[in-house]
């Protein structure tokens, strides 16, 4: 599985299915390559995460693009861990990344690779470059290398070690590998052009000395290749055709091409596209790691995190994420998309699949005075109006119920059509119910309300044709399941959380009310044994997903997304400066 794979035999080109997703410039390049016979019609992509954190929604864009294009053209996609930096990488991240790619619905089959699989080959190639006068050992410190590099307006200065003899270079590089020198004391550099307009071509570092244990190669190496010296060659070894990456690598492409040409090996084509950015969201593993380390969130899979493990726990579905990624397309300029757009796709998907249930988050007790004591009726409720095959269920109705506190007002404003003294509403799937009076505690707070019901309205309609203006949800008190429900707002309160005042930190932009935990919520009994990951629409409230913290009889739910756009509200509050 981990052997160096040459570019496999050419595979037949296939006509792409025109109806798939909207075209984009990368797809157009592939279509063009198919016409001209470049890569013999093969499409072989790769997703190359560095295992230094959990994947986030930005990575989903790259995953969907790489696996999606390969699938469309009957090609292949490799999963390759770019593990050239031993200090920040961990096996935990490798496992979570594999799990997440699978969850998103993609399969790398037997093509799981690691850049570290190629360390021996890369070392040989470095030696080859020294022998051909294309690389040299440099004794400048990292700081000096920076100083010598010059700027965008000034050319760089040659290192005093640039003209070492091949023999000396070979000997020093071998001794670097043998561990004779301390970290940072020497590097191997490519001999390109210190006056190049592209700073990446000013004798870039190929290898650095780092006495560090690697998660896979252990203590075998104390020199490690730089990303640029590893990435293109890894693509080449694996026979990748289109090496798709984000725009910040555009300036690295000349170097990518230079190494491949200098080594005379198979040449994949690098193509850059725009990074996904979302409002109210940070997509940087380094910053997400900081949030985890500083306990600003409950871990990488905190449902407020933009990590795929976080939004999965929150209840986002892989289908919703894939639909979102396919709708946003790719371009050559970075921008920021509205978080509301992602939420739109989540709602759209959950609307199709989530079962409707009744749950009361902030309960107010209701006593139906004319309902027989001890009587329980099983009301027939529709599981999913979008999906007839989901069927119906029975929900118990009895004399004492809970409704939402906000569905009752003692002094209702004009447009308030829910319960208030003297007003009648429909209790979903049950009866017309009219409020008679409220009971209060010594502080004047309403503790319960009393009502009457009209037995002739069973099922929700009055034989005399009278109408009510609203329908509210309820849960029978004696049958209710107590639950904890976690409500989320955006993790950051500013639309561009990367923007910080001088001397500040992005954590200053954290939203202090991003998490609200409600306990004593009342759920209909069918939810008693909800399993982690089960998704529902709590009628009138939003979509909710059972959290792994649930235990039998004690469910914990995350609000995935509210029913309507909370978006507008958040923006308004922002504007009002509240």
Instruction: Rank residues 129 and 245 by Cβ distance to ligand ATP and give the closer one.
Output: 245
Q: What minimum distance in Å lies between the beta carbon of 82 and ligand ATP?
A: 6
Would you state the structure tokens that stand for residue 41, as one six-digit string?
A: 């019609």
- What does 331-387 look like in DSSP terms, one character per residue? -SS---B-HHHHHHHHHHHHHHHPEEE-EESSEEEEEETTSPTT--EEEEEES-TT-
59 interacts with ligand ATP by CB under 6 A? yes
Beta strand pairing status for 424-427 and 269-273? Answer: unpaired
Tell me 81's DSSP state: E
Q: What minimum distance in Å lies between the beta carbon of 245 and ligand ATP?
A: 4
49 interacts with ligand ATP by CB under 6 A? yes
Instruction: Rank residues 51 and 75 by Cβ distance to Mg ion and give the closer one.
Output: 51
Binder among 27, 41, 44, 58 for ligand ATP (CB under 6 A): 58
Q: What minimum distance in Å lies between the beta carbon of 288 and ligand ATP?
A: 7
Binding mask 1-40 for Mg ion (x = CB under 5 A): ----------------------------------------
CA distances from 417 to 86, 409, 433, 467 (A): 63, 10, 13, 12
* Distance, CA of 387 to CA of 373 (rounded, Å): 36
Q: Determine which one of 27, 285, 314, 535 is catalytic.
A: 285
Instruction: Rank residues 276 and 368 by Cβ distance to ligand ATP and give the closer one.
Output: 276
Q: What minimum distance in Å lies between the beta carbon of 183 and Mg ion?
A: 21
- What does 87-140 look like in DSSP terms, one character per residue? GG--HHHHHHHHHHHHHHT---TT-EEEGGGGHHHHHHHHHHHHHTTSEEEE--
Is 424 one of the catalytic residues? no
Binder among 5, 88, 215, 275 for ligand ATP (CB under 6 A): 275
Instruction: Identify the H or E element spanning 142.
Output: helix 142-149
Q: Determine which one of 88, 275, 298, 394 is catalytic.
A: 275
Please check whether residue 438 is in contact with residue 451, taking contact to mean a CB–CB distance below 8 angstroms.
no
322 interacts with ligand ATP by CB under 6 A? no
Is 220 one of the catalytic residues? no
61 interacts with ligand ATP by CB under 6 A? yes
Residue at shortest CB range from ligand ATP: 58
Residues 440-499, interacting with ligand ATP (CB under 6 A): none
Of these partners, Mg ion, ligand ATP, none, which one is at the site of residue 255 (CB under 5 to 8 Å by kind)? none
Q: Which residues contact 35 (CB under 8 A, 6 or more apart)?
A: none
285 interacts with ligand ATP by CB under 6 A? yes
Q: What minimum distance in Å lies between the beta carbon of 308 and ligand ATP?
A: 12
Residues 221-260, interacting with ligand ATP (CB under 6 A): 245-246
Is 380 one of the catalytic residues? no
CA distances from 271 to 58, 66, 313, 385 (A): 17, 11, 33, 45
* Distance, CA of 46 to CA of 55 (rounded, Å): 15
Q: How many CA atoms lie within 13 A of 525 on its CB side?
A: 12
276 interacts with ligand ATP by CB under 6 A? yes
Q: Determine which one of 5, 11, 38, 50 is catalytic.
A: 50
204 interacts with ligand ATP by CB under 6 A? no
User: Reduced to 3 states, what is the DSSP secondary structure of residue 227?
Assistant: helix
Residues 62-81, interacting with ligand ATP (CB under 6 A): 62
Q: Which residues contact 272 (CB under 8 A, 6 or more apart)?
A: 244, 245, 246, 247, 249, 250, 253, 332
Please check whether residue 364 is in contact with residue 408, taking contact to mean a CB–CB distance below 8 angstroms.
yes
Binding mask 35-74 for Mg ion (x = CB under 5 A): ---------------x------------------------
Q: Which sequence positions are flagged as catalytic?
A: 50, 275, 285
Interacting residues toward Mg ion by CB under 5 A = 50
Interacting residues toward ligand ATP by CB under 6 A = 48-50, 58-59, 61-62, 245-246, 275-276, 283-286
């Amino acid at each position: 599985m981990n052997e160096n794979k040459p570019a496999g035999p050419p595979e037949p080109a296939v006509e792409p299915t025109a109806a798939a997703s909207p075209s984009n410039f990368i797809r157009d390049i592939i279509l063009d390559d198919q016409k001209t016979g470049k890569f013999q019609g093969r499409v072989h992509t790769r997703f190359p995460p560095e295992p230094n954190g959990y994947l986030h929604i930005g990575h989903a864009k790259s995953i969907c693009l790489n696996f999606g294009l390969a699938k469309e053209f009957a090609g292949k996609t490799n999963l390759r861990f770019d593990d050239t930096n031993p200090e920040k990488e961990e096996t935990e991240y490798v496992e979570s990344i594999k799990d997440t790619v699978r969850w998103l619905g993609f399969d790398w089959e037997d093509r799981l690779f690691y850049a570290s699989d190629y360390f021996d080959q890369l070392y040989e190639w470095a030696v080859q470059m020294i022998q051909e006068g294309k690389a040299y050992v440099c004794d400048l410190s990292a700081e000096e290398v920076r100083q010598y590099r010059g700027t965008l307006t000034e050319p760089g200065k040659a290192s005093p070690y640039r003209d070492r003899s091949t023999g000396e270079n070979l000997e020093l590089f071998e001794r670097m590998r043998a561990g004779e020198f301390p970290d940072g004391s020497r590097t191997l550099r490519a001999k390109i052009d210190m006056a190049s307009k592209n700073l990446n071509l000013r004798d870039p570092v190929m290898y650095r000395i780092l006495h560090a244990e690697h998660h896979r190669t252990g203590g075998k190496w104390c020199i490690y290749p730089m990303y640029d010296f590893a990435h293109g060659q890894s693509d080449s070894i694996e026979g990748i055709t289109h090496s798709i990456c984000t725009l910040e690598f555009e300036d690295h492409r000349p170097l990518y091409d230079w190494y491949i040409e200098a080594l005379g090996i198979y040449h994949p084509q690098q193509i850059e596209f725009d990074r996904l950015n979302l409002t109210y969201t940070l997509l940087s593993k380094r910053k997400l790691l900081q949030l985890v380390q500083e306990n600003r969130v409950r871990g990488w899979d905190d449902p407020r995190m933009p990590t795929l493990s976080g939004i999965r726990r929150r209840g986002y579905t892989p289908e919703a994420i894939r639909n979102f990624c396919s709708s946003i397309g790719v371009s050559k300029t970075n921008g920021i998309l509205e978080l509301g757009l992602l939420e739109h796709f989540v709602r759209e998907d959950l609307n199709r699949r989530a079962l409707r249930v009744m749950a009361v988050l902030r309960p107010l007790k209701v006593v139906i005075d004319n309902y027989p004591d001890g009587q329980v009726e099983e009301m027939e409720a529709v599981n999913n109006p979008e999906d007839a095959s989901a069927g119906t269920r029975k929900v118990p109705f009895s004399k004492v119920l809970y409704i939402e506190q906000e569905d009752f007002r003692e002094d209702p404003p004009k447009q308030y059509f829910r319960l208030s003294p003297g007003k009648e509403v429909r209790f979903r799937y049950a009866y017309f119910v009219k409020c008679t009076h409220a009971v209060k505690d010594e502080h004047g707070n309403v503790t319960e309300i009393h009502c009457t019901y009209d037995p002739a309205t069973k099922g929700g309609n009055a034989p005399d044709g009278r109408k009510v203006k609203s329908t509210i949800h309820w849960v029978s008190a004696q049958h209710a399941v107590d639950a904890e429900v976690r409500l989320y707002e955006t993790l950051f309160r500013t639309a561009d959380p990367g923007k910080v005042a001088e001397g500040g930190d992005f954590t200053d932009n954290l939203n202090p009310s991003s998490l609200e935990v409600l306990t004593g919520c009342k759920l209909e009994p069918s939810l008693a044994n909800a399993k982690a990951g089960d998704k529902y629409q709590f009628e009138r409230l939003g979509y909710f997903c059972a959290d792994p913290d649930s235990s039998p009889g004690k469910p914990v739910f995350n609000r995935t997304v509210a029913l309507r756009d909370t978006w507008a509200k958040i923006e308004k509050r922002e504007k009002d400066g509240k």
